[in-house]
């Protein structure tokens, strides 16, 4: 429950304050939060929504500071879910102080959020982060003058070196204890200001809004904020009259100013910010060349942007396949040794088969691909931390607009190269539900890291090493193309509407730190290992059971034994043969069908299942032996391997991804639709690949 003003005052007196940490994306807010709270933090969700809520505590003298990390936002206008969460926390929970993290190297853009905290009358402290980067660009900021112009305390800091953190905390505690509020209200010029003042008086006359400044409410009404409109109608004694006055004011302003009131207010805010920055900043003689802008002229150009992006992606997969191959051999040798050693320790029988064929052959067959997975995550971490990922989204923005989306939707799709689960969750940053839902529907077509072991196994088994990496790169490109085509199709027939306008955030290029890159790689790699130790282990044991039982009937004494492999009698064989007629036009048999069914749990399990199947048929559990077993199977060929890679790329996402789609859409309708359309699309495209290949003589 939100604290009342009396409860807040009492809490402050007894040494308990709540600090809300706010800021734009890429302002360094997460670094500041980690520096303040250290290990004393926990993560949950805001009540009723799926937005992540980080909280932590820190002692400052005799005061306990409870820090709430608000979602990164550009403003407090309720466009996106994150903006609504951040604003509602401030106006409903009434934190004792707001610390707004401002990127000093992008001062004007970052101060837009600060002006809204000032308008709201919240006790605010500005933490001027990345002052070292601003100085390196030749920008000197007069912090004292800027503080006077904005009417709030400002503390310079360099969060990556933890410089200024203690000072900012001390100022925040003092601001909270003394209940200091901003002293410089923003004025909006003659025409706008006249309407703001008139509406403020009208709101005060109707009883006012508890806990909210009437002037702020008036401004939000002129901005046509739907949530504030609803609050006014429900809370004021004569809310309808206030809303009617707002509509008249908006109509008058549009006629006089020539712009919508919301645009005019934003222009005035930026004008105020521009004037303050002009007064308080100066360019020194030591100004250095802005390398970010110079590089952007090449990487985001119309002519070279997309070729550079495709080249980097191609180099990424060549690196993953080339560097990962020798590392994979070492892991392969280890599991080969482990399987042989275990077989010698455990007497022949079902227990030995379970451990050697089921567990080591299944889980070990997936862990063999850990080097490629880690290299893929390492490359993605470097692209993200360097700032290039945002440029990639910018480059494809024009193309995305043609399919009814925008570049910002491409960021979750790029994250999908790592894992579909966080990719779906990343759609929360999109401003409207239509864009969010459309992006969720096509994100599973981006090839996640879990599919990589399947590609590496099949490409390595059926294609020369010189072209295997190119085959895998082509599979990833196919996923992107299909995602774009399906987005266009869904945008026309399923989710009609225009993409919401937005400003693309292009953070400055930074040299990724070794520690940060390795941490990001390990966090994602650990997800893969944890999955291997839980889901893949469980499914491997289940598949071993289904592939081992029931046992074949014993031949009557004296009767001639029939040469039927024991695996043909099993539950898994029955299941595979039941779906084989559907898969036959794709060149697949019942064994492949078993692997695809198991892959719904996790795509890596396809490899684990093949490992179990061919181990039970006499192959060793090492990756090389599995590749040999696949090559010897008469069903397999390079064309079948290619069609299978295409099917694995497209068909139903793993059950964890399906679960998160359900959670993010709050309905079973959309995850069930994803299951159906991806599986149908996988069949169609694989059919075209296989049958088309046979027509041209590749079969």
CATH number at residue 28: 3.40.50.300
| Whole-number Å distance between alpha carbons of 39 and 43 | 12
The DSSP line for 181-217 is ----PPP-HHHHHHHHHHHHHHHHHTT-BTTB-HHHH
CA 88 – CA 31 distance, rounded (Å): 24
**Partners of residue 103 on adjacent β-strands:** 129
Lowest mean pLDDT among 188-202, 388-402, 551-565: 551-565
Output the pLDDT for position 344.
Answer: 83
Q: What is the mean pLDDT of residues 5-28?
A: 74
Is pLDDT above 50 for 601?
Answer: yes
Give the 3-state secondary structure of residue 477.
helix
329 domain residue, yes or no: yes
Mean pLDDT comparison of 185-189, 354-358, 492-496, 619-623, highest-scoring range: 492-496
Identify whether residues 168 and 202 lie together within a single domain: no
Q: Is residue 138 one of the residues assigned to a domain?
A: yes
For residues 357 and 447, membership in a common domain is answered with: yes
Check residue 343 and give its pLDDT: 81
Residue 45 DSSP symbol? E
* 42-46, 125-129, 665-669: range with lowest mean pLDDT: 42-46
User: At 288, is the pLDDT very low, low, confident or very high (cuts 50, 70, 90)?
Assistant: very low
Q: Are residues 542 and 588 in the same domain?
A: yes
CB-based contacts of 325: which residues, under 8 Å, 6+ apart? 460, 465
Q: Decide if 669 is inside a domain.
A: yes
The average pLDDT across 196-203 equals 86
The whole-number average pLDDT for the span 526-554 is 69
Q: Do residues 355 and 320 both lie within one domain? A: yes
Last residue of a domain, one of 177, 206, 233: 177
State pLDDT tens for residues 123-144. 999 999 988 888 887 888 999 9
- Do residues 397 and 542 share a domain? no
Beta strand 139-141 pairing with 124-129: unpaired
pLDDT per position as a tens digit, 578-593:
999 999 999 999 999 9
Q: Which candidate, 376, 115, 79, places its Cα nearest to that of 384?
A: 376
C-alpha–C-alpha distance, residues 477 and 483, integer Å: 10
Residue range 651-661, pLDDT digits in tens: 998 877 887 78
Top mean pLDDT of 25-39, 318-332, 412-426, 615-629 is at 25-39
* 492, 539: one domain: no
Q: Which residues contact 663 (CB under 8 A, 6 or more apart)?
A: 50
pTM higher than the cut 0.85: no
Q: State the pLDDT at residue 507.
A: 63
Mean pLDDT of all residues in the chain?
80
Is position 588 within any domain?
yes
What residues have CB less than 8 Å from 102, skipping those under 6 apart? Answer: 23, 24, 27, 110, 111, 114, 126, 127, 128, 129
pLDDT at position 404, please? 66
User: Residue 355: enclosing H or E segment and its boundaries?
Assistant: none
Asked if residue 296 is part of any domain, the answer here is: no
pLDDT of 287 reads 45
pLDDT at 362: 62
Q: What is the pLDDT of residues 480-490, one digit of tens each?
A: 889 888 988 88
Is 318 found in the same domain as 272? no
Same domain, 336 and 463: yes
pLDDT for 99 equals: 95
Q: What total of structural domains would you count in the chain?
A: 4
Out of 358-372, 378-392, 485-499, which region has the weakest mean confidence (pLDDT)?
358-372
End of a domain among 150, 177, 204? 177
Mean pLDDT of the region 523-545: 69
Q: Are residues 483 and 533 in the same domain?
A: no
Quote the Cα angle for 362-364-370, to 5°: 125
Using the CB atoms, write b or e for 308-318: b if 16+ within 10 Å.
bbeeebbebbe
Q: How confident is the model at residue 170 (pLDDT cuts 50, 70, 90)?
A: very high
- Percent of the chain whose pLDDT exceeds 70: 81
Same domain flag for 251 and 328: no
Is residue 297, in this structure, part of any structural domain at all?
no
Whether residues 384 and 475 fall in one domain: yes
pLDDT digits (tens, 9 = 90+) for 234-273: 777 777 788 888 888 888 877 776 677 888 888 888 878 8
pLDDT, residue 497, reads 63
Are residues 666 and 583 located together in one domain of the fold?
yes
Alpha-helix residue ranges (DSSP H) falling in 567-668: 571-583, 590-598, 605-616, 623-632, 638-650, 655-665
Q: Mean pLDDT, to the nearest integer, of 563-568?
A: 57
Query: Which structural domain, as residue segments, surrounds residue 121?
Result: 5-177
End-to-end CA distance of the chain: 67
pLDDT of 95 over the 90 cut: yes
Q: Any idea what DSSP says for residue 558? A: T
The verdict on residue 232 lying in a domain is: yes
Q: Which residues contact 71 (CB under 8 A, 6 or more apart)?
A: 51, 52, 82, 83, 85, 86
Say which CATH number the domain at 267 has: 1.10.287.1770
Q: Is residue 448 part of a domain?
A: yes
């Amino acid at each position: 429950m939100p604290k009342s003003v009396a409860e807040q005052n009492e809490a402050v007196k007894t040494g308990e304050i709540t600090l809300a940490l706010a800021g734009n994306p890429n302002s360094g807010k997460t670094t500041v939060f980690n520096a303040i709270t250290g290990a004393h933090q926990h993560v949950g969700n805001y009540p009723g929504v799926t937005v992540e809520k980080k909280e932590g505590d820190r002692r400052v003298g005799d005061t306990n500071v409870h820090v709430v990390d608000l979602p990164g936002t550009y403003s407090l206008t309720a466009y996106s879910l994150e903006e609504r969460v951040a604003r509602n926390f401030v106006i409903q929970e009434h934190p004792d102080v707001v610390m707004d993290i401002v990127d000093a190297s992008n001062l004007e853009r970052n101060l837009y959020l600060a002006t809204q905290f000032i308008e709201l009358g919240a006790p605010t402290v500005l933490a001027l982060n990345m002052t070292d980067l601003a100085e390196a660009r030749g920008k000197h900021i007069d912090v004292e003058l800027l503080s006077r112009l904005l009417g709030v305390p400002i503390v310079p800091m360099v969060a990556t070196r933890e410089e200024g953190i203690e000072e900012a905390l001390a100022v925040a505690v003092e601001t909270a204890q003394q209940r200091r509020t901003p002293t410089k209200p923003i004025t909006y010029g003659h025409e706008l200001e006249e309407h703001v003042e008139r509406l403020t008086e009208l709101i005060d006359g109707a009883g006012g809004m508890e806990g909210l400044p009437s002037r702020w409410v008036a401004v939000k009404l002129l901005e046509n904020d739907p949530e504030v409109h609803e609050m006014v109608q429900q809370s004021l004694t004569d809310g309808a009259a206030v809303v009617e006055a707002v509509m008249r004011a908006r109509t008058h302003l549009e006629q006089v100013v020539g712009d919508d009131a919301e645009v005019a207010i934003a222009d005035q805010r930026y004008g105020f910010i521009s004037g303050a920055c002009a007064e308080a900043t100066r360019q020194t003689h030591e100004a250095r060349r802005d390398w970010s802008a110079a590089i952007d002229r090449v990487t985001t150009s119309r002519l070279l942007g997309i070729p550079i992006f495709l080249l980097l992606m191609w180099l990424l997969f060549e690196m993953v396949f080339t560097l990962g191959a020798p590392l994979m051999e070492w892991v392969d040798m280890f599991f080969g040794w482990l399987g042989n050693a275990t077989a010698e320790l455990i007497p022949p029988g079902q227990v030995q088969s379970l451990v050697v064929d089921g567990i080591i052959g299944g889980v070990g067959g997936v862990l063999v691909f850990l080097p490629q997975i880690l290299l893929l995550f390492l490359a993605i971490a470097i692209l993200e931390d360097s700032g290039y990922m945002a440029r990639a989204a910018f480059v494809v923005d024009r193309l995305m607009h043609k399919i009814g989306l925008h570049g910002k939707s491409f960021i979750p799709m790029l994250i999908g190269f790592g894992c579909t689960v966080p990719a779906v969750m990343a759609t929360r940053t999109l401003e409207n539900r239509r864009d969010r839902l459309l992006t969720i529907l096509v994100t599973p077509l981006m090839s996640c890291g879990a599919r990589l072991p399947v590609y590496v196994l099949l490409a390595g088994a059926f294609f020369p090493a010189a072209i295997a990496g190119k085959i895998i790169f082509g599979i990833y490109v196919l996923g992107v193309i299909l995602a774009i085509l399906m987005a266009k199709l869904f945008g026309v027939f399923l989710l009609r509407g225009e993409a919401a306008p937005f400003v693309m955030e292009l953070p400055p290029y930074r040299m990724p730190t070794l520690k940060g890159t390795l941490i990001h790689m390990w966090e994602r790699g650990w997800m893969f290992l944890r999955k291997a130790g839980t889901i893949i282990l469980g499914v491997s044991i289940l598949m071993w059971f289904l592939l081992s039982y029931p046992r074949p009937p014993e031949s009557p004494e004296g009767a001639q034994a029939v040469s039927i492999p024991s695996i043909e009698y099993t539950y898994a064989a029955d299941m595979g043969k039941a779906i084989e007629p559907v898969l036959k036009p794709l060149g697949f048999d019942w064994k492949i069908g078993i692997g695809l069914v198991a892959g719904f749990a996790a795509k890596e399990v396809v490899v684990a299942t093949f490992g179990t199947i061919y181990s039970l048929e006499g192959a060793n559990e090492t990756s090389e032996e599995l590749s040999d077993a696949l090559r010897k199977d008469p069903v397999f060929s390079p064309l079948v391997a290619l069609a299978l890679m295409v099917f694995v790329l497209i068909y139903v996402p793993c059950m964890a991804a399906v679960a998160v789609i359900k959670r993010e859409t709050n309905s079973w309708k959309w995850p069930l639709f994803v299951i159906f359309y991806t599986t149908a699309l996988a069949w169609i495209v694989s059919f075209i690949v296989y049958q088309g290949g046979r027509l041209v003589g590749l079969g």
